[in-house]
Structure 1
Amino acid sequence: MRRRPDAWRLAVLTVCFGAFMGQLDASIVTLTYPALGAEFHAPLAAVQWVSLSYLLTLVALLVPVGRFSDARGRKLMYLYGFALFTAASAACGLAPGLVALIAFRVLQAVGAALLQANSVALVTTSAPRERMRGALGMQAAGQAIGLALGPTVGGVLVATVGWRWVFGINVPVGIVAMVAGHYLLPRTRHRAEGARTDPAGVLLLGGATTAGLLALSAASGLRLPDWSIGALAAVAVAAGALFVRRQLRLRRPMVDLRLLAAERIGSGLLGALCGYLVLFGPLVLVPVEFDRLHLPVLVSGAVLTALPFGFALAATLGDRALPTRWDDRRRAWAGALGCAAALALMAALPATPTVLPVLLALLGIALGVFTPANNTLVMSAVPAASAGTGGGLVNMARGLGTALGVAAVTLALHLAGQGSAADRVAVLVLLAVSLVAVLTALPQGRRRNG
């Protein structure tokens, strides 16, 4: 079947299973917080670690797993990731306590790292070069659909069969995806020699991201001692500096900083981080704002659906709607400008249930134009033998953007207080981030003249 002319489409569709599950899991778990707190008699600060442990493990492992997969085979590691993710999902559904659930979520994140670190590389090595942007758009659409269905599916499951099935739903999808991946995914033909894991590097990277996110959480109202914010920030900076120093000194580093030095890769990764920060920021802002207005949760869920729906629509159909003469740089620039325009309107207009869905849909469409073009710019600049490392960097930027989207909006709301003024401050933070994305996507000529 892999020899058919259109076999690459089936391979990309198989990768979309992982993209779908990852984002479904990201958007579905937060709906279990009240049920988990009630069943395990735990405060929200403890329950949040169900998400935080998953995210931190994922960010720390994406790059080393991508490096390891470059040498051992991306298809093999991807299938192992599905197996571990599916088994850990079943274990999460059977967890006897909160500590066990958090531990199983760490294992689930290890499987997710094997999936996500190889997903972009498998897409780019499966699709013909002239179809790469469309293939990455399909993957982005799979993520958006999972993100869009998460609140609806999660709400139904928690309300009917209970929170455990929020994790159990991954099991049948994972089994189907493993069978499809075995038959449809391409074998790795270009392998990097001598790729090794770097335990010290993983610990330093994990320590930097964990301490940094905890510092932001403490500044946002997490119940930690007052002195912890400065201490955690210092640990994050120190661990980050040691990580960079170690990578520069190693002959075969976990993260090849020479890739980051390339203009198209470094600026593209910053753009990817900004894009996902802007995508996930409203997922925190809208429920808080609607709760202040005493609107039902179902209304906020329905309104939020407009954002990933617009993202999926543009990611799949944007290739046909945009002028064919536009290259990826111009498409990314146009998408980033669209994000800034939508957020500017959001800051200026009242956030009502009739106006906000239109603005969120426009924001989603702009992000759906920006993201595939941005990812294509990064991956087309990465050597074939380092595709897994490049894909890991892209996914690490996405993961950090997701975390910072939640953290930045939460921090803005906490510092600005309650009310419409705080909501506007949070939107202005997202607008500033979108303007950074505009700068990363400036066409070469304009960047030099600027």
Structure 2
Amino acid sequence: MLSERARPARVRKHRHAPWFAVAAVCVGAFMGQLDASVVTLIFPSLQRGFHAPLAAVQWVALAYLLTVIALLAGAGRLADVAGRKLVYLQGFAVFTAASAACGFASSLPVLVGSRVAQAVGAAMLQANSVALVVTSVPPRRARAALGAQAAAQSLGLAVGPLAGGLVVGLAGWRWVFWINVPVGLAAIVAGRYLLPRTRARVRGGAFDVIGLVLLAGAATVLLLAVSAVSGLGWPSWVIAVLLAAGAASALGLWRWERRAAVPLIDAAVVGGGAVAAGLAGALCGYLVLFGPLVLVPQVLVAAGLSESHAGAVLSALPAGFAVAALTADHLLPRRWGNRPRCLAGALIAATAAGAATIAPVTPGPLAACLGLLGAGLGLFVPANNAAVMAVVPARMSATVGGLINMARGMGTALGIAAVTLALFTTARSPTTGTRIALAGLGFAALVAALTAALPPRSRASQPGTVAGGERGRPGPLA
């Protein structure tokens, strides 16, 4: 766990070695989404067990999300320098130990602190996931591999509420965290033997601490402002101050990174059209994906359906996502590259959201629209990720992979906030609020389509860089 070790020769030479590595990464992708989706189910138990109000208990989820988003880019940069396999395995070790600590928490502050530690491990995992997938498989199979990873995430998203409800009902909330321990230990062993060593790294040098602080500050305060709009109950002047502080941090980051000797975010790479458009597309895609997770239960339960019935309807969304992500490479024309797939997926999602705004808000039509929405996103997300990573030098793959996951996190928060705000401001007319929320999701899908239609050339695509790697002799694939 202190240095990267080569895979055993039998694994490295096996014809399915790249897919063994993808499978190992999929475990982390599955666990990350399952853990994110299951925690909200234990809020009532935490309120009773710790005699705390909902406003305090929600920090169990909010502290985790804030920490992950704040640290993703820094964790990616660290992995590009120290080794992606090493940081990934260490992240799983931190995540596993912190999960055990969460289960043993004796008070709400201890639980929140343990969740912050758990989020540090999760950031180390998530920052490396896309990079490990792309650098483990041949370039022509990158999109299919990213589709498998996206399917694992959607499966965790779908299974989380169902498994969490069962675990809480049978064994109590602490087992929601303890169950991560054996899975984490198994994942560490699997990663040790299945993941390849890092083939290309960035040059060493002083770590850009100022850039990390500015990036973490901008992401944290902006996400707090978004969360406040979605129901924290803070006064409007506090939200305005947070927005101003976030904008100032973002401006400071932009100015600092342009003159830093070893910047956390290389403007020559991230500032290119393809990467910037891809990050915007990732944000919009996850905004559209997570918005319905808040909207659908609220709408259906208010209409008299049970939570379990609402959950069954909602499962059409991740199911459509998983099916499209896994089958797109087999069903679509081979001549279609990443951008045509992004455009088609985003337009399908926009069409589904538009159909939902005029269809009856009943289980059957809503499930059909959600399945189509998920299918569009299942086509868009892997192709969007592949389009970004194809123009990024291999030595910076984890850094940009961390930025992709940061964009996803911000999109998640914005999706939740936008839907909550639409429902809150139209509380006297729930149907109107539902239509407005769905129209907003459709608009975000159209913005994602626009990012796919932009010119594909990036400033990262200069002589010396090829899709997914760099010119010159790569390091050992071990």
TM score, norm. by length of structure 2: 0.91
Aligned position for 1:87: 97
Mapped to 1, the partners of 2:54 and 2:176 lie a distance apart of 18
Paired AA for residue 415 in structure 1:
T
Q: 1:193 to 1:443 in 2, by over 3 A?
A: closer
Unaligned 5+ residue runs, structure 2? 1-10, 457-478
Mapped to 2, the partners of 1:29 and 1:149 lie a distance apart of 12
Mapped to 2, the partners of 1:195 and 1:225 lie a distance apart of 44
Please, which of 439, 452, 468 is the counterpart of residue 441 of structure 1?
A: 452
Contact 1:15 1:122 in 2 (8 A): yes
Contact 1:137 1:315 in 2 (8 A): yes
Please, which of 99, 121, 129 is the counterpart of residue 119 of structure 1?
A: 129
Deviations 1:187-232 (A, max 9, x none): 0021111254333333322222222222233333422234212111
Mapped to 2, the partners of 1:195 and 1:17 lie a distance apart of 32
Q: 1:207 to 1:253 in 2, by over 3 A?
A: same
Aligned position for 1:428: 439
5 Å-filtered alignment, 1:145-294, equals: 145-194=155-204, 196-294=206-304
Contact 1:71 1:194 in 2 (8 A): yes
**Residue aligned with 2:364, SS:** coil
Mapped to 2, the partners of 1:123 and 1:395 lie a distance apart of 14
Aligned position for 2:463: none
Mapped to 2, the partners of 1:11 and 1:139 lie a distance apart of 11
Mapped to 2, the partners of 1:212 and 1:141 lie a distance apart of 29
Paired AA for residue 292 in structure 2:
P
Aligned position for 2:363: 353
Aligned position for 1:448: none
- Deviating beyond 4 angstroms after TM superposition, the runs of 4 or more aligned structure 1 residues are none
Please, which of 334, 338, 343 is the counterpart of residue 324 of structure 1?
A: 334
Contact 1:71 1:195 in 2 (8 A): no
Equivalent residues, number: 445
- 1:257 deviation in Å? 2.0
Cα RMSD (Å): 1.3
Paired AA for residue 30 in structure 1:
T
Mapped to 1, the partners of 2:226 and 2:149 lie a distance apart of 31
Unaligned 5+ residue runs, structure 1? 446-450
Aligned position for 1:334: 344
Aligned position for 1:378: 388
Contact 1:416 1:425 in 2 (8 A): no
Contact 1:93 1:167 in 2 (8 A): yes
Please, which of 46, 58, 67 is the counterpart of residue 56 of structure 2?
A: 46
Mapped to 1, the partners of 2:203 and 2:375 lie a distance apart of 41
TM score, norm. by length of structure 1: 0.96
- 1:241 deviation in Å? 1.3
Mapped to 1, the partners of 2:15 and 2:404 lie a distance apart of 28
Mapped to 2, the partners of 1:421 and 1:13 lie a distance apart of 44
**Residue aligned with 2:234, SS:** coil
Between 372-381 and 199-208, the greater mean CA deviation after superposition:
199-208
- Would you say 1:2 and 2:12 are equivalent positions? yes
5 Å-filtered alignment, 1:89-104, equals: 89-104=99-114
- 1:340 deviation in Å? 0.3
Please, which of 121, 124, 130 is the counterpart of residue 140 of structure 2?
A: 130
Please, which of 386, 402, 408 is the counterpart of residue 412 of structure 2?
A: 402
